[in-house]
Structure 1
Amino acid sequence: MTHTSSPETEGRVPADPQPTPAVQPAATTTTRRVDLERGTGIAPYTAVLWDLDGTISDSAPGILNSLRTVLSSYGLPIPSDSELLKHVGPPIHETFAAYGLDPIEATERYRAIYRASESFIGDAYPGVLQVIRDVHAAGIPQSTATSKPESSARVILESYGIDDSFLTITGASDDEVRSAKADVIEEALRRLDVAGVDLSNVLMIGDRFYDVEGAAEHGVPAVYVSWGYGRLGEEAGSVAVADSAERLRAFLSLD
Protein backbone atom coordinates (compact mmCIF):
# COMPACT_ATOMS: atom_id res chain seq x y z
CA MET A 1 0.00 0.00 0.00
CA THR A 2 1.28 3.47 -0.86
CA HIS A 3 1.78 5.75 2.12
CA THR A 4 0.30 9.20 2.15
CA SER A 5 2.54 12.11 2.98
CA SER A 6 2.71 13.98 6.25
CA PRO A 7 4.53 17.21 7.14
CA GLU A 8 8.27 16.86 6.76
CA THR A 9 10.38 16.43 9.84
CA GLU A 10 12.63 19.40 10.45
CA GLY A 11 16.28 18.94 11.21
CA ARG A 12 18.55 15.97 10.90
CA VAL A 13 17.26 12.53 11.81
CA PRO A 14 19.79 10.81 14.11
CA ALA A 15 22.12 8.40 12.34
CA ASP A 16 22.78 4.82 13.30
CA PRO A 17 25.42 5.25 16.04
CA GLN A 18 27.34 2.09 15.08
CA PRO A 19 26.81 1.24 11.41
CA THR A 20 28.00 -2.20 10.40
CA PRO A 21 31.15 -1.80 8.28
CA ALA A 22 31.01 -3.41 4.86
CA VAL A 23 33.53 -6.17 4.18
CA GLN A 24 35.33 -5.39 0.93
CA PRO A 25 37.26 -7.72 -1.40
CA ALA A 26 41.04 -7.74 -1.39
CA ALA A 27 42.80 -5.65 -4.00
CA THR A 28 44.35 -7.31 -7.03
CA THR A 29 47.80 -6.57 -8.36
CA THR A 30 46.88 -6.62 -12.05
CA THR A 31 43.83 -6.53 -14.27
CA ARG A 32 42.42 -9.69 -15.83
CA ARG A 33 42.36 -9.97 -19.62
CA VAL A 34 38.90 -10.56 -21.09
CA ASP A 35 37.50 -10.69 -24.60
CA LEU A 36 34.43 -8.48 -24.62
CA GLU A 37 32.82 -6.55 -27.43
CA ARG A 38 34.18 -3.22 -26.22
CA GLY A 39 37.16 -4.08 -24.10
CA THR A 40 40.00 -6.33 -23.03
CA GLY A 41 40.53 -5.12 -19.46
CA ILE A 42 44.15 -4.35 -20.38
CA ALA A 43 45.59 -0.85 -20.95
CA PRO A 44 45.92 1.23 -23.03
CA TYR A 45 42.22 2.16 -22.97
CA THR A 46 40.45 4.13 -25.65
CA ALA A 47 37.82 5.56 -23.27
CA VAL A 48 37.01 5.46 -19.56
CA LEU A 49 33.60 5.57 -17.88
CA TRP A 50 33.24 6.65 -14.25
CA ASP A 51 30.58 6.05 -11.65
CA LEU A 52 30.20 9.05 -9.30
CA ASP A 53 28.74 8.16 -5.88
CA GLY A 54 31.15 5.92 -4.01
CA THR A 55 33.77 6.14 -6.76
CA ILE A 56 34.62 9.82 -7.18
CA SER A 57 32.51 11.37 -4.43
CA ASP A 58 31.85 10.26 -0.85
CA SER A 59 28.23 11.30 -1.13
CA ALA A 60 26.81 8.91 1.47
CA PRO A 61 26.46 11.46 4.32
CA GLY A 62 24.17 13.70 2.28
CA ILE A 63 22.26 10.83 0.69
CA LEU A 64 21.68 8.95 3.94
CA ASN A 65 20.59 12.04 5.85
CA SER A 66 18.15 12.93 3.07
CA LEU A 67 16.80 9.38 2.97
CA ARG A 68 16.25 9.44 6.73
CA THR A 69 14.43 12.76 6.51
CA VAL A 70 12.16 11.58 3.70
CA LEU A 71 11.29 8.27 5.36
CA SER A 72 10.63 10.05 8.64
CA SER A 73 8.36 12.55 6.90
CA TYR A 74 6.16 9.62 5.82
CA GLY A 75 6.10 8.25 9.35
CA LEU A 76 8.26 5.25 8.49
CA PRO A 77 10.87 3.75 10.83
CA ILE A 78 14.46 4.69 10.01
CA PRO A 79 16.67 1.74 8.99
CA SER A 80 20.27 1.48 10.12
CA ASP A 81 23.00 3.20 8.14
CA SER A 82 24.27 -0.17 6.93
CA GLU A 83 20.81 -0.92 5.52
CA LEU A 84 20.45 2.53 3.96
CA LEU A 85 23.88 2.24 2.34
CA LYS A 86 22.48 -0.54 0.15
CA HIS A 87 20.44 2.15 -1.59
CA VAL A 88 23.45 4.25 -2.58
CA GLY A 89 24.02 3.33 -6.20
CA PRO A 90 20.72 2.18 -7.71
CA PRO A 91 18.11 4.68 -8.96
CA ILE A 92 16.60 6.43 -5.95
CA HIS A 93 13.00 5.94 -7.09
CA GLU A 94 13.54 2.17 -6.77
CA THR A 95 14.43 2.70 -3.11
CA PHE A 96 11.21 4.54 -2.36
CA ALA A 97 9.12 2.01 -4.27
CA ALA A 98 10.69 -0.72 -2.12
CA TYR A 99 9.45 1.13 0.97
CA GLY A 100 5.91 1.29 -0.44
CA LEU A 101 6.01 4.99 -1.26
CA ASP A 102 4.88 6.78 -4.37
CA PRO A 103 8.26 6.83 -6.15
CA ILE A 104 7.63 10.06 -8.07
CA GLU A 105 6.41 12.05 -5.07
CA ALA A 106 9.06 10.67 -2.71
CA THR A 107 11.85 11.25 -5.24
CA GLU A 108 10.82 14.87 -5.71
CA ARG A 109 10.79 15.35 -1.94
CA TYR A 110 14.19 13.67 -1.62
CA ARG A 111 15.79 15.80 -4.33
CA ALA A 112 14.59 19.03 -2.77
CA ILE A 113 16.01 18.00 0.61
CA TYR A 114 19.26 16.61 -0.78
CA ARG A 115 20.09 19.55 -3.03
CA ALA A 116 19.45 21.99 -0.18
CA SER A 117 21.61 20.06 2.28
CA GLU A 118 25.06 21.20 3.35
CA SER A 119 26.44 17.79 2.40
CA PHE A 120 25.06 17.77 -1.18
CA ILE A 121 28.60 18.07 -2.50
CA GLY A 122 30.49 15.37 -0.63
CA ASP A 123 34.23 15.07 -0.28
CA ALA A 124 36.15 13.58 -3.18
CA TYR A 125 38.03 10.38 -2.38
CA PRO A 126 41.79 10.83 -1.88
CA GLY A 127 43.73 10.97 -5.13
CA VAL A 128 40.81 10.23 -7.46
CA LEU A 129 40.46 13.74 -8.89
CA GLN A 130 44.12 13.71 -9.90
CA VAL A 131 43.68 10.34 -11.61
CA ILE A 132 40.80 11.83 -13.63
CA ARG A 133 42.91 14.84 -14.57
CA ASP A 134 45.78 12.56 -15.59
CA VAL A 135 43.53 10.36 -17.74
CA HIS A 136 42.39 13.53 -19.50
CA ALA A 137 45.97 14.75 -19.88
CA ALA A 138 46.86 11.39 -21.45
CA GLY A 139 44.29 12.10 -24.16
CA ILE A 140 41.84 9.36 -23.13
CA PRO A 141 38.18 10.46 -23.54
CA GLN A 142 36.09 10.14 -20.37
CA SER A 143 32.42 10.17 -19.45
CA THR A 144 30.54 9.72 -16.22
CA ALA A 145 27.99 6.93 -16.06
CA THR A 146 26.04 7.65 -12.89
CA SER A 147 22.49 6.97 -11.74
CA LYS A 148 22.55 10.40 -10.08
CA PRO A 149 20.60 12.97 -12.11
CA GLU A 150 22.83 14.48 -14.76
CA SER A 151 22.17 18.03 -13.57
CA SER A 152 23.32 17.15 -10.03
CA ALA A 153 26.38 15.30 -11.31
CA ARG A 154 27.43 18.35 -13.32
CA VAL A 155 27.17 20.64 -10.28
CA ILE A 156 29.30 18.28 -8.18
CA LEU A 157 32.00 17.84 -10.84
CA GLU A 158 32.11 21.59 -11.44
CA SER A 159 32.62 22.12 -7.71
CA TYR A 160 35.61 19.73 -7.85
CA GLY A 161 37.01 21.60 -10.84
CA ILE A 162 37.13 18.50 -13.04
CA ASP A 163 34.06 18.91 -15.26
CA ASP A 164 36.30 19.90 -18.18
CA SER A 165 38.16 16.57 -17.86
CA PHE A 166 35.07 14.79 -19.20
CA LEU A 167 34.10 14.77 -22.85
CA THR A 168 30.52 14.26 -21.67
CA ILE A 169 28.79 14.08 -18.29
CA THR A 170 26.21 11.32 -18.48
CA GLY A 171 23.74 10.52 -15.74
CA ALA A 172 20.12 9.72 -15.06
CA SER A 173 17.53 11.89 -16.74
CA ASP A 174 15.53 14.09 -14.36
CA ASP A 175 12.33 12.24 -15.29
CA GLU A 176 13.98 8.90 -14.31
CA VAL A 177 13.23 7.40 -17.75
CA ARG A 178 16.98 6.82 -18.00
CA SER A 179 18.19 5.76 -14.57
CA ALA A 180 19.20 2.08 -14.59
CA LYS A 181 22.98 1.78 -14.74
CA ALA A 182 22.95 -0.24 -17.95
CA ASP A 183 20.82 2.44 -19.62
CA VAL A 184 23.12 5.23 -18.42
CA ILE A 185 26.17 3.35 -19.70
CA GLU A 186 24.44 2.84 -23.05
CA GLU A 187 23.82 6.58 -23.31
CA ALA A 188 27.41 7.40 -22.34
CA LEU A 189 28.70 5.07 -25.04
CA ARG A 190 26.28 6.57 -27.57
CA ARG A 191 27.49 10.10 -26.83
CA LEU A 192 31.13 9.08 -27.05
CA ASP A 193 30.46 7.30 -30.33
CA VAL A 194 28.74 10.38 -31.78
CA ALA A 195 31.81 12.38 -30.76
CA GLY A 196 33.97 10.01 -32.81
CA VAL A 197 35.61 8.23 -29.87
CA ASP A 198 37.18 4.82 -30.45
CA LEU A 199 35.15 2.39 -28.34
CA SER A 200 37.25 -0.70 -28.98
CA ASN A 201 38.81 -0.80 -25.49
CA VAL A 202 36.61 0.95 -22.93
CA LEU A 203 36.89 0.58 -19.15
CA MET A 204 34.19 1.20 -16.52
CA ILE A 205 35.22 2.20 -12.98
CA GLY A 206 32.70 1.80 -10.16
CA ASP A 207 32.04 0.62 -6.62
CA ARG A 208 28.88 -1.49 -6.92
CA PHE A 209 27.78 -4.60 -8.79
CA TYR A 210 25.43 -2.32 -10.75
CA ASP A 211 28.53 -0.85 -12.38
CA VAL A 212 30.11 -4.24 -13.12
CA GLU A 213 26.93 -5.84 -14.45
CA GLY A 214 25.68 -2.74 -16.27
CA ALA A 215 29.00 -2.42 -18.09
CA ALA A 216 29.03 -6.13 -18.98
CA GLU A 217 25.63 -5.75 -20.66
CA HIS A 218 27.37 -3.50 -23.20
CA GLY A 219 30.56 -5.51 -23.55
CA VAL A 220 32.62 -3.21 -21.32
CA PRO A 221 34.96 -4.59 -18.63
CA ALA A 222 34.92 -2.96 -15.20
CA VAL A 223 37.36 -2.25 -12.38
CA TYR A 224 35.74 -2.41 -8.95
CA VAL A 225 36.92 0.13 -6.36
CA SER A 226 36.73 -0.96 -2.73
CA TRP A 227 36.64 2.49 -1.09
CA GLY A 228 32.96 2.94 -1.95
CA TYR A 229 29.65 1.49 -0.81
CA GLY A 230 29.76 -2.07 -2.10
CA ARG A 231 30.75 -5.17 -0.20
CA LEU A 232 32.43 -8.52 -0.71
CA GLY A 233 30.91 -10.32 -3.68
CA GLU A 234 29.95 -7.23 -5.65
CA GLU A 235 33.29 -7.34 -7.47
CA ALA A 236 32.28 -10.59 -9.20
CA GLY A 237 32.83 -10.27 -12.93
CA SER A 238 35.19 -7.31 -12.67
CA VAL A 239 38.67 -7.44 -14.18
CA ALA A 240 40.38 -6.03 -11.06
CA VAL A 241 39.85 -4.57 -7.60
CA ALA A 242 41.48 -1.24 -6.70
CA ASP A 243 41.81 -0.23 -3.05
CA SER A 244 43.46 3.15 -3.68
CA ALA A 245 43.86 5.83 -6.31
CA GLU A 246 47.50 4.76 -6.67
CA ARG A 247 46.51 1.20 -7.55
CA LEU A 248 43.86 2.47 -9.96
CA ARG A 249 46.50 4.68 -11.57
CA ALA A 250 48.66 1.59 -12.14
CA PHE A 251 45.74 -0.30 -13.72
CA LEU A 252 45.27 2.65 -16.09
CA SER A 253 49.02 2.64 -16.91
CA LEU A 254 49.34 6.32 -16.01
CA ASP A 255 52.76 5.91 -14.38
Structure 2
Amino acid sequence: MKPLGPGRAWSVVLFDLDGTIVDSAAGIVESLAHTFEAMGAAVPSEEILRSYVGPPLLEALRMQGGFTDVDAWNALSIYRDHYGEVAMHAPAFAGLPELLGALADAGIPLAVATSKPEPMARRILEHLGLASRFAVIAGASEDETRSTKADIVSDALARLRAAKVDTSRPVMVGDRGYDVVGASANEVPTILVAWGYGSPIEAHDAIAVADTVDELAAMLTSGVDAASHPGARRTVPGAAAGA
Protein backbone atom coordinates (compact mmCIF):
# COMPACT_ATOMS: atom_id res chain seq x y z
CA MET A 1 0.00 0.00 0.00
CA LYS A 2 1.26 3.48 -0.87
CA PRO A 3 1.95 5.88 2.02
CA LEU A 4 -1.22 7.69 3.03
CA GLY A 5 -1.56 11.41 2.50
CA PRO A 6 -1.45 14.00 5.27
CA GLY A 7 -5.23 14.04 5.75
CA ARG A 8 -6.51 13.10 9.18
CA ALA A 9 -10.29 12.98 9.38
CA TRP A 10 -10.34 11.12 12.71
CA SER A 11 -8.25 11.59 15.84
CA VAL A 12 -8.22 7.85 16.61
CA VAL A 13 -9.50 4.68 14.93
CA LEU A 14 -10.91 1.74 16.90
CA PHE A 15 -10.94 -1.61 15.10
CA ASP A 16 -13.02 -4.68 15.76
CA LEU A 17 -10.99 -7.90 15.41
CA ASP A 18 -13.05 -10.88 14.14
CA GLY A 19 -14.38 -10.24 10.65
CA THR A 20 -12.60 -6.90 10.42
CA ILE A 21 -8.89 -7.55 10.83
CA VAL A 22 -8.83 -11.34 11.18
CA ASP A 23 -10.69 -13.97 9.13
CA SER A 24 -11.47 -16.12 12.16
CA ALA A 25 -14.85 -17.62 11.27
CA ALA A 26 -13.57 -21.10 10.41
CA GLY A 27 -11.89 -21.61 13.77
CA ILE A 28 -14.80 -20.16 15.71
CA VAL A 29 -17.34 -22.35 13.89
CA GLU A 30 -15.17 -25.44 14.43
CA SER A 31 -14.83 -24.70 18.14
CA LEU A 32 -18.54 -24.00 18.55
CA ALA A 33 -19.46 -27.26 16.82
CA HIS A 34 -17.08 -29.10 19.16
CA THR A 35 -18.66 -27.30 22.13
CA PHE A 36 -22.24 -28.22 21.25
CA GLU A 37 -21.22 -31.82 20.64
CA ALA A 38 -19.30 -31.99 23.94
CA MET A 39 -22.33 -30.57 25.75
CA GLY A 40 -24.56 -33.27 24.25
CA ALA A 41 -26.57 -30.70 22.31
CA ALA A 42 -27.57 -30.75 18.66
CA VAL A 43 -24.96 -28.98 16.56
CA PRO A 44 -26.52 -26.02 14.70
CA SER A 45 -25.88 -25.40 11.02
CA GLU A 46 -22.74 -23.57 9.95
CA GLU A 47 -24.86 -20.55 9.02
CA ILE A 48 -26.26 -20.35 12.55
CA LEU A 49 -22.85 -20.93 14.13
CA ARG A 50 -21.41 -18.06 12.07
CA SER A 51 -24.00 -15.76 13.63
CA TYR A 52 -22.23 -16.31 16.95
CA VAL A 53 -19.24 -14.36 15.63
CA GLY A 54 -19.53 -10.85 17.04
CA PRO A 55 -21.76 -10.75 20.13
CA PRO A 56 -20.51 -11.71 23.61
CA LEU A 57 -20.27 -15.49 23.45
CA LEU A 58 -21.66 -16.25 26.90
CA GLU A 59 -24.79 -14.25 26.07
CA ALA A 60 -25.07 -15.95 22.67
CA LEU A 61 -24.80 -19.40 24.26
CA ARG A 62 -27.67 -18.50 26.59
CA MET A 63 -29.91 -16.66 24.16
CA GLN A 64 -29.23 -18.46 20.87
CA GLY A 65 -27.94 -21.78 22.15
CA GLY A 66 -30.62 -22.17 24.81
CA PHE A 67 -28.15 -23.14 27.55
CA THR A 68 -28.90 -22.47 31.21
CA ASP A 69 -26.55 -20.11 33.04
CA VAL A 70 -24.55 -23.00 34.49
CA ASP A 71 -24.39 -24.89 31.20
CA ALA A 72 -23.46 -21.72 29.31
CA TRP A 73 -20.43 -21.23 31.56
CA ASN A 74 -19.44 -24.88 31.07
CA ALA A 75 -19.86 -24.50 27.32
CA LEU A 76 -17.78 -21.32 27.34
CA SER A 77 -14.95 -23.15 29.11
CA ILE A 78 -15.05 -25.99 26.55
CA TYR A 79 -15.10 -23.48 23.71
CA ARG A 80 -12.13 -21.50 25.02
CA ASP A 81 -10.03 -24.64 25.51
CA HIS A 82 -10.70 -25.78 21.94
CA TYR A 83 -10.43 -22.35 20.35
CA GLY A 84 -7.09 -21.79 22.03
CA GLU A 85 -5.74 -24.66 19.92
CA VAL A 86 -6.93 -23.25 16.57
CA ALA A 87 -7.01 -19.48 17.03
CA MET A 88 -3.53 -18.92 15.64
CA HIS A 89 -4.54 -20.47 12.31
CA ALA A 90 -6.70 -17.44 11.42
CA PRO A 91 -5.09 -15.12 8.86
CA ALA A 92 -5.44 -11.38 8.58
CA PHE A 93 -7.67 -10.25 5.74
CA ALA A 94 -5.70 -9.32 2.63
CA GLY A 95 -4.47 -5.74 2.78
CA LEU A 96 -5.23 -5.18 6.47
CA PRO A 97 -1.64 -5.44 7.76
CA GLU A 98 -0.56 -2.94 5.11
CA LEU A 99 -3.43 -0.59 5.98
CA LEU A 100 -2.63 -0.70 9.69
CA GLY A 101 1.00 0.01 8.94
CA ALA A 102 0.13 2.92 6.66
CA LEU A 103 -2.25 4.43 9.24
CA ALA A 104 0.33 4.08 12.00
CA ASP A 105 3.04 5.58 9.77
CA ALA A 106 0.69 8.50 9.04
CA GLY A 107 0.49 9.19 12.76
CA ILE A 108 -3.11 8.09 13.27
CA PRO A 109 -3.49 6.37 16.67
CA LEU A 110 -5.12 2.94 16.52
CA ALA A 111 -6.89 0.73 19.06
CA VAL A 112 -8.68 -2.61 19.11
CA ALA A 113 -12.11 -3.02 20.73
CA THR A 114 -13.16 -6.67 20.51
CA SER A 115 -15.61 -8.98 22.28
CA LYS A 116 -12.85 -11.60 22.38
CA PRO A 117 -11.16 -12.09 25.76
CA GLU A 118 -8.40 -9.52 25.86
CA PRO A 119 -5.49 -11.96 26.43
CA MET A 120 -6.58 -14.02 23.41
CA ALA A 121 -6.95 -10.91 21.24
CA ARG A 122 -3.46 -9.77 22.16
CA ARG A 123 -2.04 -13.24 21.51
CA ILE A 124 -3.59 -13.36 18.02
CA LEU A 125 -2.33 -9.89 17.13
CA GLU A 126 1.15 -10.69 18.42
CA HIS A 127 1.16 -13.89 16.36
CA LEU A 128 0.26 -11.85 13.26
CA GLY A 129 2.92 -9.25 14.06
CA LEU A 130 0.28 -6.52 14.41
CA ALA A 131 0.08 -5.86 18.17
CA SER A 132 2.65 -3.05 18.05
CA ARG A 133 0.41 -1.06 15.70
CA PHE A 134 -2.12 -0.42 18.48
CA ALA A 135 -1.91 2.03 21.36
CA VAL A 136 -4.59 0.01 23.19
CA ILE A 137 -5.91 -3.54 22.78
CA ALA A 138 -9.22 -3.70 24.67
CA GLY A 139 -11.29 -6.86 24.93
CA ALA A 140 -13.70 -8.72 27.15
CA SER A 141 -12.62 -9.67 30.65
CA GLU A 142 -12.24 -13.40 31.12
CA ASP A 143 -14.86 -13.38 33.90
CA GLU A 144 -17.31 -11.69 31.48
CA THR A 145 -17.89 -8.70 33.78
CA ARG A 146 -16.82 -6.58 30.83
CA SER A 147 -18.36 -8.22 27.79
CA THR A 148 -20.73 -5.88 25.93
CA LYS A 149 -19.33 -3.95 22.99
CA ALA A 150 -20.44 -0.71 24.64
CA ASP A 151 -18.38 -1.47 27.76
CA ILE A 152 -15.37 -2.55 25.69
CA VAL A 153 -15.45 0.60 23.54
CA SER A 154 -15.79 2.69 26.71
CA ASP A 155 -12.79 0.91 28.22
CA ALA A 156 -10.74 1.44 25.06
CA LEU A 157 -11.52 5.17 25.02
CA ALA A 158 -10.67 5.54 28.72
CA ARG A 159 -7.33 3.81 28.23
CA LEU A 160 -6.58 5.93 25.18
CA ARG A 161 -7.26 9.10 27.14
CA ALA A 162 -5.03 7.83 29.95
CA ALA A 163 -2.30 7.39 27.33
CA LYS A 164 -2.82 11.04 26.25
CA VAL A 165 -4.36 10.07 22.91
CA ASP A 166 -6.83 12.58 21.44
CA THR A 167 -10.27 10.94 21.50
CA SER A 168 -12.23 13.99 20.36
CA ARG A 169 -12.95 12.55 16.88
CA PRO A 170 -13.02 8.76 17.20
CA VAL A 171 -14.38 6.29 14.67
CA MET A 172 -15.10 2.57 14.97
CA VAL A 173 -14.38 0.11 12.16
CA GLY A 174 -16.29 -3.17 12.39
CA ASP A 175 -18.37 -5.70 10.50
CA ARG A 176 -21.47 -6.33 12.62
CA GLY A 177 -24.42 -4.39 13.95
CA TYR A 178 -23.04 -5.10 17.44
CA ASP A 179 -20.11 -2.84 16.58
CA VAL A 180 -22.47 -0.05 15.54
CA VAL A 181 -24.59 -0.35 18.69
CA GLY A 182 -21.61 -0.54 21.04
CA ALA A 183 -19.87 2.41 19.44
CA SER A 184 -23.07 4.49 19.30
CA ALA A 185 -23.52 4.01 23.05
CA ASN A 186 -20.25 5.92 23.38
CA GLU A 187 -21.18 8.52 20.72
CA VAL A 188 -18.70 7.02 18.28
CA PRO A 189 -19.67 6.66 14.58
CA THR A 190 -19.00 3.37 12.80
CA ILE A 191 -17.75 2.41 9.36
CA LEU A 192 -18.62 -1.20 8.50
CA VAL A 193 -16.51 -3.35 6.20
CA ALA A 194 -18.14 -5.55 3.57
CA TRP A 195 -15.63 -8.42 3.87
CA GLY A 196 -16.78 -9.42 7.37
CA TYR A 197 -19.57 -11.58 8.75
CA GLY A 198 -22.48 -9.16 9.01
CA SER A 199 -25.64 -9.03 6.91
CA PRO A 200 -26.55 -5.95 4.85
CA ILE A 201 -29.32 -4.90 7.24
CA GLU A 202 -26.74 -4.54 10.03
CA ALA A 203 -25.21 -1.58 8.17
CA HIS A 204 -28.34 0.54 8.48
CA ASP A 205 -26.99 2.80 11.23
CA ALA A 206 -23.36 2.84 10.11
CA ILE A 207 -22.10 6.09 8.58
CA ALA A 208 -20.59 4.16 5.67
CA VAL A 209 -19.73 0.74 4.28
CA ALA A 210 -16.27 0.10 2.84
CA ASP A 211 -16.19 -2.53 0.11
CA THR A 212 -12.41 -2.62 -0.17
CA VAL A 213 -9.36 -1.88 1.95
CA ASP A 214 -8.47 1.04 -0.32
CA GLU A 215 -11.95 2.49 0.16
CA LEU A 216 -11.58 2.13 3.93
CA ALA A 217 -8.20 3.85 3.79
CA ALA A 218 -9.77 6.80 1.98
CA MET A 219 -12.58 7.04 4.55
CA LEU A 220 -10.11 6.98 7.44
CA THR A 221 -7.86 9.68 6.03
CA SER A 222 -10.19 11.92 4.02
CA GLY A 223 -13.42 11.34 5.91
CA VAL A 224 -16.81 10.11 4.82
CA ASP A 225 -18.61 12.33 2.33
CA ALA A 226 -22.18 11.07 2.04
CA ALA A 227 -22.72 13.10 -1.12
CA SER A 228 -19.72 11.95 -3.12
CA HIS A 229 -18.06 8.90 -1.64
CA PRO A 230 -19.19 5.67 -3.36
CA GLY A 231 -19.30 3.77 -0.08
CA ALA A 232 -20.92 6.34 2.15
CA ARG A 233 -24.52 6.15 3.34
CA ARG A 234 -25.51 3.71 0.65
CA THR A 235 -28.97 2.18 0.53
CA VAL A 236 -28.87 -1.02 2.52
CA PRO A 237 -30.64 -3.97 0.84
CA GLY A 238 -33.50 -5.23 2.96
CA ALA A 239 -33.85 -2.05 4.99
CA ALA A 240 -37.23 -0.36 4.78
CA ALA A 241 -37.17 3.24 3.65
CA GLY A 242 -37.09 5.56 6.61
CA ALA A 243 -36.57 2.70 9.07
Which ranges of structure 1 fall in alignment gaps of 5 or more residues? 1-41
User: Distance in 2 between the 1:90 and 1:227 partners?
Assistant: 18
Higher helix share: 2
Counterpart position of 1:105: 74
Q: CA deviation at 1:100?
A: 3.0
User: Is the alpha carbon distance of 1:43 and 1:240 closer, same or farther for their aligned partners in structure 2, counting shifts above 3 Å?
Assistant: farther
Q: Is 1:210 paired with 2:178?
A: yes
User: Distance in 1 between the 2:84 and 2:218 partners?
Assistant: 35
Superposition pairs of residues 1-255 of structure 1, within 5 angstroms: 43-98=8-63, 99-101=65-67, 102-117=71-86, 119-253=87-221
SS in 1 for 2:41: coil
User: Is the alpha carbon distance of 1:174 and 1:121 closer, same or farther for their aligned partners in structure 2, counting shifts above 3 Å?
Assistant: farther
Number of residue pairs the alignment of both structures matches: 212
Name the % identity: 43
Q: CA deviation at 1:43?
A: 4.8
Q: CA RMSD in A?
A: 1.4
Which ranges of structure 2 fall in alignment gaps of 5 or more residues? 1-6, 223-243
User: Distance in 2 between the 1:164 and 1:121 partners?
Assistant: 20
Q: Deviations over 1:165-222 (max 9, x none)?
A: 1001111111111111011000000000111111111110000001111111111111
Moved more, 47-56 or 75-84: 75-84
Taking structure 1 as the reference length, the TM-score comes to 0.80
SS in 2 for 1:144: strand
Q: CA deviation at 1:238?
A: 0.9
If asked which structure has higher relative contact order (CA below 8 Å, sep 6+), I would say 1
Question: What code does the residue aligned with 1:110 have?
Answer: Y
Instruction: Give 4+ residue runs of structure 1 displaced > 3 Å after superposition.
Output: none
Moved more, 98-107 or 195-204: 98-107
Taking structure 2 as the reference length, the TM-score comes to 0.84
